[in-house]
Structure 1
Amino acid sequence: MHEKEFRKLLDKYLDGTISENEKMILQKFEKEQISENYNQHFKNETDKNSVKNIVWKNVRLNTFSGSRLDWRVFTSAAAILVGLLMVGYFYYQNNNILHKSEVPQNAITLELEDGSTRIIEENGSVILTDKEGSVLGQQKGHELVYSNSEGIEELVYNTLTVPFGKTFVLRLSDGTKAYLNAGSSLKYPVKFLKGQERNVYVIGEAFLDVAKDSLRPFIVNTDKMNVRVLGTKFNVSAYPEDETSDVVLVEGAVSLHEAEEKYDPKNVVLLKPGFKGSFNKNNKSITTDKVITSLYTSWMGGELIFRNMSFGNIVKKLERHYNVVILNQNKDLASKKFNANFGNQTIEEVLQELKDNYGIDFKITSTGDIEIK
Structure 2
Amino acid sequence: MTNVLNVITSMDPVYGGMCQGIRNSIGHLDTKTIVSDVVCLDEPDAAFLGKDDFNIIALGGKTSSWAYSKHLLPWLNKNISQYQVIIVHGLWQYHGYAVRKALYQAKRKNKDTPKFLIMTHGMMDPYFQKAPERRLKAIRNTLFWKAIEKKTMNSANGILYTCEEELLLARTTFSGFTPQKEMNIGYGILPPPPKNLTDIATFKARHGISPNEEYILFLSRLHHKKGLLNLLNAYSKGLKDDIMLPKLILAGPGIESEFGQQLYNLVAHNSFLKQQVKFIGMISGEEKWASFYGAKAFILPSHQENFGIAVVEALACKCPVIISNKVNIWREIEKGNGGLVSEDTEQATFEALKKYITLSQNEIAKMKESAYNVYLDNFTMEIASEQYIKAIVDVSL
TM-score, structure 2 normalization? 0.27
Greater relative CO (CA pairs within 8 A, separation 6+): 2
Find the structure with the greater CA-based Rg: 1
Normalised to the residue count of structure 1, the TM-score between the two structures is 0.28
Give 1 or 2: higher strand fraction: 1
